[in-house]
A and B are shown apart, each in its own frame.
Chain A
Amino acid sequence: MKGFFYAVEVEGLWQARMTIDPLVDKHFWLEGRFGSAGRLNASKARMGWLWREALPLGDACRAVEIWEKAGGERRSRGSGLGRKAVLLRNEKREGEWEIEREMKMKGEREKEREKEREVLLRLQACVEAAKREAAERGGSGQREVSWWSRWFGGRGKVNHDRRDVEMVLELVERWEGEFGGYAERVKDGVRREGAELAGEVGCRRAKVGGEHGGAERAGAGSEQREGGRAFSDARLGELAAGAKRAADALEGRALLRGEAHDLLLGAGVPAAGASWSAMLQLAALLGRVRLGGSVAAYGRRADARGRRRRERRCLRCGSGEALLARTACAACGRVCAYCTACIGMGRSRECELLVTGQRAVGVGMGGRSLAPIERRLAAWKLSPAQTAAAGKALRFVEKGLAKPGQRLSAEGNDVKLGKHLSASEVEAKPGQHPSADGSKAEIRNFLLWAVTGAGKTEMIFPLVESVLLRGGRALIATPRRDVVTELDPRIRRAFPKAAVVTLYGGSEQRWENGDITLATTHQLLRFYQGFDLVIVDEIDAYPYHGDPILHFAADKSCAPGAPRLLLSATPPSELQRDARHGRLPHARVPVRYHRHPLPVPAWIQTPAVHQMLKRRKLPGKLLAALRQSLERGAQLFVFVQRIAQTEPMAELLRAVLRHSDVAATSSQDAERSDKVHRFRSREIRVLVTTTILERGVTIPMSDVYILDADGKLFDEASLVQMAGRAGRSGDDPFGRVYFCSRERNRPQTAAVRHIRTMNKMARKQGFLHPKGQGGSPR
């Protein structure tokens, strides 16, 4: 996709911008009135210059950045304090002073011209620099941008060659005065120079027409539209209304062009007569959405020879250069980079528009005072251990609310200014927190470390309620789709009045907004600072654990300063360490909701599974245990390492147990959910499976057999999780767990120690039922 680059002078300041629909910008800056919506810009622009040629989107955005950065370079000689916009202003003033000193000698008209020329040349310099960077990117390292010194090298004696300026005049379009009066002014000869030049260019263009292809054609197209499209008041009102609705629908989202289109269609936003991009562009001018390339520059890194090179990254998933691929792109007409890491969610590339909906206000106290925490907790009827942990988490969530105005002011500024924050500013810089923006608000993490079957879902209800009461949005994310679909009815039951949106690949609610969003972690790629409370369940589960893309997504979905809860029965060791050392606020729930201890795994020495399969025989001890489990009426989970072993093992069990209700399932099984369902309804008694069912499945009366427990794929966390499938219901709290292996290795002993520690802690804290009343097994 292509974009346009322009600069406008507002209140004596020149600012540069990128647009996908220049006509909207022109109207916005020169006229500002949008029919019934009234006046939308704070102050009109005196004039502006539009670079006629449609640039590849990435180049147009980059040109804006270069313009702003050049301001920054000059600024550094000045005060060097305060916010960027203010500084830009200071610096400009300073620059103007110097030029003005020169101008005193010249006539008034000369002065004006000189200033215009400076802007024009600067405009051109930015475009050239952006193009050059794009061209040089694939090749060897590049020099530090030297265009500045080249164009404005002798500061103070800016010696613009008249010919240069004329050349630039051919490439730009002048915006001035009342919108609509523009054409007449040209005819009147007020801009005699420009008009003549435009004519010349027209002729020349006709001559070279064939050679220049796309760019010229795009330029001509925009001219035609200038002539043809006049805004009626009704149309303008429609456009403004559409832009507002689009901005509302896009709040907190980060979507590719096609996705944004789908969302707006889904939200019933009318396509404002013709132009959907006009609506988006107006929303962008109002500061409600941010438009830019989906893959963009974010920083510099020195290469092997010490030259600094610009690095690109996918702004949607955070992947760096290593995961970008470059191909010739017909959409923007140059070689452009796309992200291979998140391609499964639609292709993010340099010239692909990323629409980021800004959320103007964070959630404060919502003007209401909430009931005391204890009273609210009591309504959820949690067990003592759950109440203690949920209370701690709730206090954490509501901690920052004493000064609700703080965050709003920090964020509100940029929104009001409608300033285009460059991607590199807002998105992560290397080594910095990805979602940190100007206000540098960190995500506040809280670890809820609760044993399997502790009732984590019930514990998050009060937290979600707290956010909803304050009018915020809550997100519950988990890596596994199975878990999402299982959570869905429970959440809807707990919050019957709230709008719940469930998102996963192929979900029907894909483009809906709700109070509570339930999503797989992959779906978080499509959000940007959208939630006031983020809860990530099963943080140690595949694919979230160890996937930087999903971590990036989970980070950027948090509103700045919003609390994030990490839930796990087996947190990754680095989080455990942080928690132990007091670096990470946390609550531990060492006991299940039914207040019985966790079943401690017993060990049976057995040969490896492949040997059992080969000999078609199970060791006597294992067979006896299996028979006993079946006799006591339990459901049997049998875990094996490999998908290929599931079916043969099921067959073997069917034969040796003389029992027909044995089934096998794995991630490759299309009927998985059906089989789990039949297992739950006791149609299947024995289910042979892999780690795919290690979490998120609750079967009331079940025993667990982990074969090849010394295998490479079973680490401490997954052993604890699998063991956690047993004894989850209050009716049968003492399910049996067996580790079957040739030897006891480290993960097995660690898992047993983990379970025992939790039980000990529970007993110490008095969460278990007293001994005489069934507090311990058998």
Chain B
Amino acid sequence: MSRSPEAWLRRLLSAFTASAQLLAPGSAACLLCGKPQQSARSAAAQNHSKLPPQLRKSVCGACLSAIPWIARIRCAKCGRGIPCDDCIRRPHPSFVCNRSAVHYNEMMRGVLAQYKYRGNERLAPLLGGMLQPVFEALTAEISAPLSNRPSRNGRPNKLIFADHWSAVTYVPISEQRAADRGFNQAEQLASQLANQYGIPLLHLLVRDRHTEKQSFKTRAERLRDTRQLFIVNPNEAAKLQEHLARPPRILLIDDIYTTGSTAEACSQTLLLNAGIPIEVYILTWARS
């Protein structure tokens, strides 16, 4: 693989950021349990050396060990760690597959509540960091047929990740929700991932309406409404046209995958309105 000057620059940039990290003061308290962590770097960090550094730095060893990673995927479609009937019952034809970082257990529920509802945005880098391993695994999974030949130094190179994706996007929230909460958690996660791997972040979807008055509607109306919940932002979608190679591969980020209906609705909207054939993959932080 040839190295473009641009790639070199990007490498240089990441090297600079990495070395600047060395100068940054270590965080005093664990972001999850709030306890001061002194020994975290020495003992516990060794056991988790595969995790992204920002995760190891901001979370104490005990909390790191308690994160319920989805280590083995039992359902190839929805990325669940247990065998799942849902995907047989509802095939969700619009997206290729979903992968999630963690099981949605009590602890993770607490973390997400802290971040999403309490508004503790300091947790955003943490959650974004937690997406990295699963993102890399997903990329490896889809690139397996392509990258049989080993890269030059025998290790997967970071830049490869960007090559496999055309764009990162996210599940939008309504304007009213945005005004209440102040931020879109999925957007924050997506932009972090996009920055980290140098993939373009596109604001492809817009949530059309606020869905609160569902209870006043008939079932048929509701079904139709869920379908029309999202619309495509034409300006952003036009940028997809630039990716002429392959059908563009789009990674859709959300915080949690429960039944897959949101992911399905978003993917469907994208497929129908993108103007060109695309492939949508879902990456979520938690799988409930």
What residues of chain A have their CB less than 8 Å away from a CB belonging to chain B?
1, 325, 327-331, 336, 338, 340, 343-344, 346-347, 349, 351
Contacts and interface: CB of A to CB of B under 8 A. Distances in A.
Contact of A330 (B118, B122, B179): B179
A340 B29 CA distance: 13
A347 B181 CA distance: 10
Contacts of B178: 330-331
Contacts of A346: 118
A331 B118 contact: no
Contacts of A1: 179
12 contacts: A328-B183, A329-B183, A330-B178, A330-B181, A331-B179, A331-B180, A331-B182, A338-B119, A338-B121, A340-B122, A344-B118, A347-B120
Interface string B179-196: 111111000000000000
Nearest to A330: B178
A340 B120 contact: yes
A344 B117 CA distance: 11
A327 B182 CA distance: 9
Contacts of B121: 325, 327, 338
Nearest to A348: B119
A330 B120 contact: no
Nearest to B114: A343
A407 B58 CA distance: 50
A349 B179 CA distance: 13
Closest 9 CB pairs of A and B: A330-B178, A347-B119, A331-B182, A329-B182, A331-B179, A327-B121, A343-B120, A330-B182, A330-B183
A346 B114 CA distance: 10
B183 A347 contact: no
Contacts of B122: 325, 340
Contacts of A328: 183
A1 B181 CA distance: 10
Interface string B209-234: 00000000000000000000000000
A351 to B, nearest CB: 8
B221 to A, nearest CB: 26
Contacts of A330: 178-179, 181-184
A347 B118 contact: yes
Interface string B100-132: 000000000000000000111110000000000
Contacts of B118: 343-344, 346-347
A343 B119 contact: yes
Contacts of A327: 121, 182-183
Interface in B143-175: none
Q: By CB atoms of chain A within 10 A, which of B118, B179, B181 has the most?
A: B179
Contacts of A340: 120, 122
B90 to A, nearest CB: 32
A1 B179 CA distance: 7
Q: By CB atoms of chain A within 10 A, which of B119, B178, B184 has the most?
A: B119
Contacts of A343: 118-120
Contacts of A347: 118-120, 182
A327 B183 CA distance: 9
B48 to A, nearest CB: 22
A603 to B, nearest CB: 32
A325 B119 CA distance: 11
A351 B179 CA distance: 10
Contacts of A325: 121-122
Nearest to A338: B119
Nearest to B179: A331
B219 to A, nearest CB: 31
Interface string B29-63: 00000000000000000000000000000000000
Nearest to A343: B120
A347 B178 CA distance: 14
A331 B181 CA distance: 7
B162 to A, nearest CB: 24
Interface in B243-280: none
Nearest to B235: A210
Nearest to B177: A330
Nearest to A2: B179
A351 B182 CA distance: 9
Contacts of B182: 327, 329-331, 336, 338, 347, 349, 351
Nearest to B124: A327
Given A330-B181, A349-B182, 15 more contacts: A1-B179, A327-B182, A328-B183, A330-B179, A330-B182, A330-B184, A331-B178, A331-B180, A331-B181, A331-B182, A338-B121, A338-B182, A340-B120, A343-B119, A349-B119
A331 B180 CA distance: 6
Q: By CB atoms of chain A within 10 A, which of B121, B122, B178, B180 has the most?
A: B121
Contacts of B120: 340, 343, 347
B173 to A, nearest CB: 8
Contacts of B180: 331
Contacts of A329: 182-183
A329 B121 CA distance: 11
B28 to A, nearest CB: 12
A330 B203 CA distance: 15
A327 B122 CA distance: 9
A177 B16 CA distance: 64
Contacts of A351: 182
A330 B119 CA distance: 12
A343 B184 CA distance: 18
A343 B122 CA distance: 11
B175 to A, nearest CB: 8
Contacts of A349: 119, 182
A354 B63 CA distance: 35
Nearest to B119: A347
A68 B275 CA distance: 56
Contacts of B184: 330
A327 B124 CA distance: 11
A336 B119 CA distance: 13
Nearest to A329: B182
Contacts of B179: 1, 330-331
A328 B120 CA distance: 13
A21 to B, nearest CB: 16
B113 to A, nearest CB: 12
Nearest to B184: A330
Nearest to A347: B119
